[in-house]
Structure 1
Amino acid sequence: MKKYYLGILIMSASTIQSQKFPDLRAPIAEKQEHIREIHGDKVNDPYYWMIDYFKKGKDSTKVVDYLKAENTYWEGMMKDTEPFRENLFQEMKARIKEKDESVPVFENGYYYYTRTEAGKQYFKYCRKKGSLTAPEEILLDIDKLAEGHAYYAASGFSISPDNTKLVYGVDDVSRRQYTLFLKDLNTGKTTDLGIKNTEGSAEWGNDNKTIFYTEKNPVTLLSEKIKRHTLGTDPAKDVTVYEEKDHSNYISVYKSKNHKFLLIYSGATTSSETRYLDADQPNGIFKVFQPRMKNVLYTITPLEDKFLIRTNKDALNFKIAETPLDKTGVENWKDFIPHRSDVLMQSVSAFKNYLVFSERQNGLTQLVIYDRKTGKKEALIFDEPAYTISPLENPEYNTDQFRFGYTSMITPVSQFEQDLKTGKRILLKQQEVLGGYAKDSYTTERLFATAKDGTKIPISIVYKKGFRKDGNSPLLLYAYGSYGSSMDAAFSSTRLSLLNRGFAFAIAHIRGGQEMGRQWYEDGKMMKKKNTFTDFIDAGEYLVKEKYTSPKHLYAQGGSAGGLLMGAVVNMNPNLWNGVISQVPFVDVVNTMLDESIPLTTNEYDEWGNPNNKEAYFYMKSYSPYENIEKKNYPNILVTTGLHDSQVQYFEPAKWVSKLRDMKTDKNVLLLKTDMDYGHGGASGRFDYLKDISLVYAFMFKLEGINK
């Protein structure tokens, strides 16, 4: 599918470079014939062999050698930016308060928090008993545990009901396959439980000796089983309490906020099912709350006298229903908060005396307080044009104190506590930007672009005052647009390095997310996926039309499914962008979705479709970036990936770059950077990721002729 920008500002892609790159020879990948034949369609995939490192095939070494050659190439092409990148790294790092502490959270008699130390990459997980003036107890020193590891992620900290034990997960490869550890908080002894390949967390039964965890398939990485482990026993004898047979579902286990129930959730994109068990009887049998129903999603919140159910049954934007504790079937569900066509019900936070609903209306998030005694509802009001507000961790049930977070493009992340009874609100903490930050020096706007079908696409934008809307200013446009994930307006201290050098930054809230309600998601998935791509292009064209920028100064960025977006838009409208940053991109849609051995593939059928279906196959093929590369000019492109990526395997971007090199007719820059030690999320340390941002910024700055 071709689509070209027709405005008067268009320029040839080969004439818009502002700063020269070295004349180095790019790696040329070998071609090997590999025929894919399905639905009467025969396609040669000459770079299919790059899957061999993942498949442990004969060309594994050749794959690694190619990725290393690409790394050598990008390093050479960006060699002159090394001092600038180091300056950017130090500049962004200097804004971060190195010695810091999270707001303590009270749960079951203890205040829990994390704190960081100057010069350290990780953190310490701590608690104090009963009072913030009590002695500190360091539960885990992640800085020490991470020593000697190129990558180290600890997660899922779970304290036993009697406060004496801690279970947590560790991934030191970056494949999101966690091993569980137990720490005795009385003796300080840590034990490897021998439980591997988990999601990284566990949930306690109320007996203080039973834990439940999610086990993954070692090949597909799908969460397949919920297992029960009794401390002190052989993990090989752990009992499977639930096994998911539908490979399109994710599963998890957690405890209700009132600690009365253990809950197993199984859900795909379009349907879900929940099981529940009395947490006082961890050896009991989980009961099905309501058997899964076609195209119906639901989650439950137990209260003292009933269950609340958030569901989209007969409610596109979701509603809240209620049902008795002993009658959980759908025939007993009654509306508690009815469906509203203009409001998306996102979640409910339960307290003894109040409920707090997280909702979304007109593209903005909001919190609504509900008094359980009187039924009175009150929304929290904020006056910025684009912002994000959401509940924070609120583990205590018997309290009237509610914590929430607030941020905007110009307001640093702020944590508030509101007394639900009196309405009194206090600021607990606001992200501190070292070196000084003047909010009044920046402007944020909320704009609306008109899509080709007449749909209004929201855009959140921020820039430093003095930014000129004359078509000559650089602008970075970001989006995601998949899985119903909303990319809301939020503050970033690293972004200041961009804004302070004359860039504007914008988020296009395109279809495929859920910013404008559930229909917004439905209109950007499956057989309507192309709306996601055309929305982004329309947003870019609008910003050019309104003279925020021009094609020679417009940049685009997206990662993972947002990387798919980048691949699609450079095929559909390559002349609209001067540079594109595609991070861990999902660009080989057809081949990946045809291979069920690739991690997480079957979970994705409800998002993209199953290409074994002829109609889905040809629709995917019509937009898949790898399939649609043509002999034409492309913009400057920077691509990043990780050798151990568990979400989007390294070979997708590698194949895409190889084919682009072979087909493109311009002399623009195409760079592939592979982190040989990391996966989908990049580096695990709290500063190392800044090096990746420095590279992205330096790439755009070089194209703009900015070198300091």
Structure 2
Amino acid sequence: MEIFYEGDDEYFLGFYLTSDDQYLVLESTQRETQDAFVVSMDDIYSAPIKLVGREDGFTLSIDHAGNHFYILANDTHKNFRLARAHHERPDQVNWETIESGSDDNYLMDFQTFEDFMVIKSRQRGIDNISIRSYAGDSHSVSFPEKISTLYIGQNTNFQQSFVRLGVQSMITPPTVVDYQIKQKEFIERKTKKIPSGYDKALYRTERLMATARDGTLVPVSLVYKEGIERDGTSPMLLYGYGAYGITVSPTFSTMRLSLLDRGFVYAIAHIRGGSMLGYQWYLDGKLEQRENTFNDFVDVANFLVDKKYTAAGNISIVGRSAGGELMGAAVIQAPHLWRSVNLGVPFVDVLNSMLDASLPLTPPEWKEWGNPIEDKQAFDLLRRYSPYDNITAREYPPMLVSGGLNDPRVTYWEPAKWTAKMRSTKTDNNLLVMRINMGAGHFANTGRFGRLKDYAEEYVFTLLAHNIKQ
């Protein structure tokens, strides 16, 4: 028997159970728009109850406890609010706010339990977990490291008196803990083991705020080996993405250790276009604001040079997909800053791709980049910053350009066109390597060891660019 049908092919249908197993939630989702229905598990064949009408840009998630639905929604603030409504009166007009997001407080996730709920937020770029009783009392969970990546773990028992959480940082391997609510204590359940050995005390991580050219403060996460001198001599690998509201969190990486042990400083630029500082941070890096993303990245690099973590010309950069677009824009804007550039499945031919409506993923992407077919302003903007269209006769740093023959998101001819135009235009003899994986798609090798091989090749390229041979 059919319970629900989504007739709009731009929307994807999903479903899940509320934490108390009392309701089935049906979600209909587009990139930035979502609506939801609920069905009582006591009468699964009853008509779904709609909580709110479909509205462009509106998203929500739902859970249930006691006699109430709890709703995380962005209807009153871009950074969401947490509201509740009696399950007999769930319409939006009856929603009661119990916690409000703000410009500095981005509400991201939550889960209900029988006696409490857990809420994940990000406050001025720093992850926070809080516990809230249904009477309204709340407290934040204190973690050993201020700059950590936190998430709500798998909690399958609605009656449990603890909450399972995940925590990691750029120097702390992924760890699973049970937070005891009454005692306000952790029980560590599992920490990822590093077979080659790992001593956390040998490494240091920092969060800095770089000033962009328009005065905006941009977060930067750093990790490096303890004892490195801040004299401008250290090589650096700088990573960036900055699109779709995706946050590149400061997480742990075993593969990164080989670079840190060779003296590298590794940095993540949390630039506009992501959502490190909330939903507005994303909006400030899309459509007509897209160039903020590229400027932020270059300005972060200059900031790190000024602070003597590295030097101009001693920074390698890496990004994939929309982050590959960022790499292309950065190398066009400031080629003198980079020792090498790693462009993975790079979205560098932005204008031509957005002009080709026959590509299956182009029409859905117009909301992110603009529609140059119908909007001259969008055409002019894309023409101004599209990396492929701005290659000129000058010297560029060494580049590794990767693509996948079966990639439906960034078609293989984008890295191929970029490489061909670069080779015919640039005035230097620096190495320019194109690597097309004939059996891979957008996410490169997916075999057990294939991705490790790719990383090894990319690291070798970076190390050789810095003349590091051991």
TM-score normalised by L of structure 2: 0.95
| Residue 360 of structure 1, aligned match among 111, 119, 122 | 122
Residue matched to 2:57: 295
Distance 1:437 1:449, change over 3 A: same
- The Cα of 1:246 is off from its aligned counterpart by 6.0
Residue matched to 2:341: 580
For residues 19 and 365 of structure 2, the distance between their equivalents in structure 1, rounded to whole angstroms, comes to: 30
Is structure 2 residue 176 aligned with structure 1 residue 415?
A: yes
Residue matched to 1:371: 133
- The Cα of 1:278 is off from its aligned counterpart by 3.0
Task: Name structure 1 gaps, 5 residues minimum.
Answer: 1-227, 229-238
Distance 1:613 1:321, change over 3 A: same
Counterpart residue identity of residue 429, structure 1: K
Residue matched to 2:207: 446
Distance 1:352 1:557, change over 3 A: same
Distance 1:262 1:619, change over 3 A: same
Asked if the contact 1:481/1:524 (under 8 Å) is kept, the reply is yes
Asked if the contact 1:268/1:606 (under 8 Å) is kept, the reply is no
- The Cα of 1:536 is off from its aligned counterpart by 0.3
Distance 1:347 1:244, change over 3 A: farther
Matches within 5 A, 1:284-433: 284-372=46-134, 374-433=135-194
Percent sequence identity over aligned pairs: 39
Matches within 5 A, 1:183-222: none
Is structure 2 residue 340 aligned with structure 1 residue 614?
A: no
Residue matched to 2:399: 637
Counterpart residue identity of residue 242, structure 1: Y
- Secondary structure of 2:417's counterpart equals helix
- The Cα of 1:661 is off from its aligned counterpart by 1.7
Residue matched to 1:242: 5
- Secondary structure of 1:556's counterpart equals strand
1:122-169 deviations in Å (ceiling 9; x for gaps): xxxxxxxxxxxxxxxxxxxxxxxxxxxxxxxxxxxxxxxxxxxxxxxx
Residue matched to 1:533: 294
Asked if the contact 2:3/2:47 (under 8 Å) is kept, the reply is no
Distance 1:617 1:282, change over 3 A: farther
Matches within 5 A, 1:450-461: 450-461=211-222
For residues 646 and 276 of structure 1, the distance between their equivalents in structure 2, rounded to whole angstroms, comes to: 34
For residues 684 and 283 of structure 1, the distance between their equivalents in structure 2, rounded to whole angstroms, comes to: 40
1:472-520 deviations in Å (ceiling 9; x for gaps): 2210000111111111211111101111111110011111111112221
Counterpart residue identity of residue 382, structure 1: F
For residues 630 and 264 of structure 1, the distance between their equivalents in structure 2, rounded to whole angstroms, comes to: 51
| Residue 504 of structure 1, aligned match among 254, 257, 265 | 265
For residues 292 and 13 of structure 2, the distance between their equivalents in structure 1, rounded to whole angstroms, comes to: 30
Asked if the contact 1:416/1:427 (under 8 Å) is kept, the reply is yes
- The Cα of 1:632 is off from its aligned counterpart by 1.8
Residue matched to 2:280: 519
Asked if the contact 1:271/1:293 (under 8 Å) is kept, the reply is yes
Asked if the contact 1:527/1:616 (under 8 Å) is kept, the reply is yes
Asked if the contact 1:385/1:445 (under 8 Å) is kept, the reply is no
- The Cα of 1:342 is off from its aligned counterpart by 1.6
Distance 1:328 1:240, change over 3 A: closer
- Secondary structure of 1:488's counterpart equals coil
1:40-72 deviations in Å (ceiling 9; x for gaps): xxxxxxxxxxxxxxxxxxxxxxxxxxxxxxxxx
Distance 1:514 1:559, change over 3 A: same
- Secondary structure of 1:660's counterpart equals helix
1:621-666 deviations in Å (ceiling 9; x for gaps): 2111122222222211111121122332222222222222222222
- The Cα of 1:281 is off from its aligned counterpart by 4.6
For residues 663 and 330 of structure 1, the distance between their equivalents in structure 2, rounded to whole angstroms, comes to: 58
Query: More deviation in 354-363 or 646-655?
Result: 646-655
| Residue 253 of structure 1, aligned match among 15, 38, 42 | 15
For residues 20 and 57 of structure 2, the distance between their equivalents in structure 1, rounded to whole angstroms, comes to: 29
For residues 387 and 140 of structure 2, the distance between their equivalents in structure 1, rounded to whole angstroms, comes to: 43
Matches within 5 A, 1:589-668: 589-611=350-372, 612-668=374-430
For residues 545 and 502 of structure 1, the distance between their equivalents in structure 2, rounded to whole angstroms, comes to: 19
For residues 27 and 331 of structure 2, the distance between their equivalents in structure 1, rounded to whole angstroms, comes to: 39
Asked if the contact 2:398/2:430 (under 8 Å) is kept, the reply is yes
Is structure 2 residue 316 aligned with structure 1 residue 555?
A: yes
Residue matched to 1:569: 330
For residues 238 and 146 of structure 2, the distance between their equivalents in structure 1, rounded to whole angstroms, comes to: 18
TM-score normalised by L of structure 1: 0.64
1:76-105 deviations in Å (ceiling 9; x for gaps): xxxxxxxxxxxxxxxxxxxxxxxxxxxxxx
Matches within 5 A, 1:217-228: none
For residues 647 and 256 of structure 1, the distance between their equivalents in structure 2, rounded to whole angstroms, comes to: 33
- The Cα of 1:269 is off from its aligned counterpart by 4.3
- Secondary structure of 1:241's counterpart equals coil
For residues 250 and 593 of structure 1, the distance between their equivalents in structure 2, rounded to whole angstroms, comes to: 22
1:318-350 deviations in Å (ceiling 9; x for gaps): 111112213232222221212333200001111
Asked if the contact 2:238/2:268 (under 8 Å) is kept, the reply is yes
- The Cα of 1:284 is off from its aligned counterpart by 4.6
Is structure 2 residue 255 aligned with structure 1 residue 494?
A: yes
For residues 622 and 259 of structure 1, the distance between their equivalents in structure 2, rounded to whole angstroms, comes to: 52
For residues 324 and 266 of structure 1, the distance between their equivalents in structure 2, rounded to whole angstroms, comes to: 22
For residues 430 and 481 of structure 1, the distance between their equivalents in structure 2, rounded to whole angstroms, comes to: 30
Counterpart residue identity of residue 687, structure 1: F
Matches within 5 A, 1:29-40: none
For residues 563 and 240 of structure 1, the distance between their equivalents in structure 2, rounded to whole angstroms, comes to: 42
- The Cα of 1:401 is off from its aligned counterpart by 2.4
Counterpart residue identity of residue 574, structure 1: P
- Secondary structure of 2:5's counterpart equals strand
For residues 288 and 533 of structure 1, the distance between their equivalents in structure 2, rounded to whole angstroms, comes to: 41
For residues 376 and 155 of structure 2, the distance between their equivalents in structure 1, rounded to whole angstroms, comes to: 47
Counterpart residue identity of residue 580, structure 1: V
Task: Name structure 2 gaps, 5 residues minimum.
Answer: none
Higher relative contact order (CA 8 A, sep 6+): 1
Residue matched to 1:263: 25
1:216-251 deviations in Å (ceiling 9; x for gaps): xxxxxxxxxxxx7xxxxxxxxxx693234263x444
Counterpart residue identity of residue 63, structure 2: T
Counterpart residue identity of residue 276, structure 2: E
Counterpart residue identity of residue 91, structure 2: G
Asked if the contact 1:366/1:390 (under 8 Å) is kept, the reply is no
Residue matched to 2:237: 476
- The Cα of 1:617 is off from its aligned counterpart by 2.1
Residue matched to 2:436: 674
- The Cα of 1:383 is off from its aligned counterpart by 4.2
For residues 379 and 484 of structure 1, the distance between their equivalents in structure 2, rounded to whole angstroms, comes to: 25
Asked if the contact 1:244/1:251 (under 8 Å) is kept, the reply is no
Counterpart residue identity of residue 369, structure 1: I
Asked if the contact 2:126/2:146 (under 8 Å) is kept, the reply is no
Asked if the contact 2:118/2:131 (under 8 Å) is kept, the reply is yes
1:399-441 deviations in Å (ceiling 9; x for gaps): 2221111111111111101122332311101111123211111
Asked if the contact 2:176/2:188 (under 8 Å) is kept, the reply is yes
Asked if the contact 1:448/1:456 (under 8 Å) is kept, the reply is yes
Is structure 2 residue 456 aligned with structure 1 residue 690?
A: no
